[in-house]
Structure 1
């Protein structure tokens, strides 16, 4: 069985490599990084879906559904789709202002200067490295869980396979594989979900029936936390911004963002619903809880292979996007990187990430810290779309966001140290207070500096 599983993993990755190597770019660093003005709305929609749908969707949404309920699942789905709505709104404006742009950091520099640009670049880099490490860690865990094969094999295989075609074809290679991976993951998800639901059919156990459902307040709190965290962080995903300039035109960009957002909401909703089913049937969810895989444990043995291929597809689709995104960010920030340098940087950036993933340590806490830092800066960044916004407003807004993230912990813990500890999520659990504090404080200060109080008219001097 393990031989068949390894062959299936190798075959899936080989197909992705062959698809990626079919991509041809006219040459030059700009096309390597942006595939400028070349992609239809359908391709972009599938790419947005595939790029954001990593292996995390097999863990987080089902767990939220199982333990917090449908309101939180709805919040998760909304938070995952909202960045695409913002892309449809912001993207055309940024594209018109920077017709030859490559990244969000360039827009930040154009509006607020290089100091603000570097801070946005640091946040984007931190978030994407966390995302990349989490994806590779997850695919190793999925392989070990479903097949008993050492996860290191899959981590190395996915990293190597995606590197082959992203180094060769750049963003075009990622886009062409995303189109196939997006369709494949929808088919596989439908198959796996349907089979798992059929296997879990029957009456709920007495234990499940007697379990108290989560309160509506708890569901709303988690939903709001997820909306803020996921929306803020995804706006710092350079891979999404590359596709703003890859779109053939602005209507294609808007159609792609709309399609990607709707598909993402549906996928998160389905997986959250599977978590609800697993909890409702009283299945043993595990520790840490993995409701999706608890459903698979009740399913026929043949379902293991498509579920594993689903996991490989999810990880490959997000990893190749992140590889391109990191190189694009590096090229935009240094200004000295040629095509050969971009390819070398792609490989070099993967080395520490793979080493971290091989340790199989949890990166959830680091992910939450990166999400919170993004939440401190998202409103000041969005203010760049308004002509009244200034560098002072953006910088003070970011500083206020950091203070706002710490204050809730200071209030409850009674010290600065307690506030810093709470904002670092010691239990690796998302909590609303730091995110809400960051968002509210950054919004209020940015708005206050951006829109000064009216000056009283001077009295006219007497004749």
Structure 2
């Protein structure tokens, strides 16, 4: 429904209107107070459900992955301090989030950025699940390459070309940004995969997961 109303808004409203919030703006203008309150509660619940997942992932990275990477001794003072810091890290992340939100950026533009990021990481993530010759470092290199290419072609918030990228072909083209971020990350992934095969590099043994990961039941 949100997407359909947004498309209608683009066709009906003037170009300088903020089409991404037209539904919310309409509800605020024509609805009684109690409907607005219900809508706000539902909107907060929707955001909170995503925020909860984000907080859990950040806590996991700080408290588990980073802790194991920096210190092998789980009883060391540093590890204990890092575990305590895990509890406040998600709330510290709210500070830049509030600053960015206060700038009034278009919600649609933020979703488009997320879509471009997904295009860049899609192939390396799934390719790494099935290829033993494609490791985490290769995936990160492929993702970063895709993000750089996609960023160079990505339009500004007005969906036009950034001034300093005008000399780049297809700069400001949203579809080209999505397409090239995916193609470039996939191409780099394939090249790294071929390099690992040629060098006879030891790949990941998937059967080891049976020993390292136990069933919950």
| TM-score with structure 1 setting the length | 0.30
Q: Deviations over 1:99-155 (max 9, x none)?
A: xxxxxxxxxxxxxxxxxxxxxxxxxxxxxxxxxxxxxxxxxxxxxxxxxxxxxxxxx
Please state how far the C-alpha of 1:354 moved relative to its aligned partner. 3.1
Aligned to 2:18: 288
158, 161, 175: which one aligns with 1:432: 175
CA–CA distance in structure 1, aligned partners of residues 176 and 184 of structure 2: 12
Structure 1 partner of 2:187: 444
Q: CA 1:389–1:380 in structure 2 vs 1: closer, same or farther (change >3 Å)?
A: farther
Deviation at 1:288, TM superposition (A): 1.1
Q: Write the distance in 2 (CA, Å) between the matches of 1:385 and 1:298.
A: 50
More off after superposition, 340-349 vs 443-452: 443-452
Match of 1:307 in 2: 39
| Residue 390 in structure 1 maps to residue 119 in structure 2 | no
What's the counterpart of residue 405 of structure 1?
Answer: 150
Question: Which structure 1 segments of 5+ residues have no match?
Answer: 1-60, 69-275, 456-463
Question: Equivalences for 1:369-380 in 2 at 5 Å?
Answer: 369=113, 371-380=115-124
Question: What does residue 334 of structure 1 align with?
Answer: 66
8 A Cα contact 1:388 1:450, kept in partner? no
> Higher relative CO (CA 8 A, sep ≥ 6), structure 1 or 2?
1
Q: Are 2:146 and 2:181, in contact at CA under 8 Å, matched by a contact in 1? A: yes
CA contact (8 A) 1:398 1:442 kept: yes
Q: CA deviation at 1:448?
A: 4.6
What CA distance in whole angstroms lies between the structure 1 residues aligned with 2:186 and 2:41? 43
Counterpart Cα distance in 2 of 1:66 and 1:317: 24
How far does residue 317 in structure 1 lie from its aligned partner after superposition? 2.5
Contact 1:327/1:342 (<8 A) preserved: yes
Deviation at 1:432, TM superposition (A): 1.1
Structure 1 293/389 Cα, relative in aligned 2: closer, same or farther at 3 Å? same
Match of 1:348 in 2: 92
**Equivalence for 1:41:** none
Call closer, same or farther: CA 1:299–1:321 in 2, change over 3 Å.
same
Matched residue, 1:66:
5
SS of the equivalent of 2:37 reads: helix
Note the 1:56-455 alignment, pairs <5 A.
62=2, 64-68=3-7, 287-289=17-19, 290-296=21-27, 297-335=29-67, 336=79, 339-357=83-101, 359-362=102-105, 368-369=112-113, 371-391=115-135, 394=139, 397-398=142-143, 400-402=145-147, 404-405=149-150, 418-419=167-168, 422=171, 431-450=174-193
Distance 2:23 2:188 in 1: 42
Q: Deviations over 1:69-95 (max 9, x none)?
A: xxxxxxxxxxxxxxxxxxxxxxxxxxx
Q: 1:345 to 1:445 in 2, by over 3 A?
A: closer
1:374 is displaced (CA, Å) by: 4.5
Unaligned runs of 5+ in 2: 68-78, 155-160, 199-217
1:404–1:440 Cα contact (<8 Å) kept? no
2: CA distance, partners of 1:366 / 1:279: 17
In 1, Cα distance between the equivalents of 2:133 and 2:6? 42
How many residue pairs get aligned? The number is: 173
Question: How many Å apart are 1:431 and its aligned residue?
Answer: 1.2
Question: Aligned to 1:66, what secondary structure does the other structure show?
Answer: helix
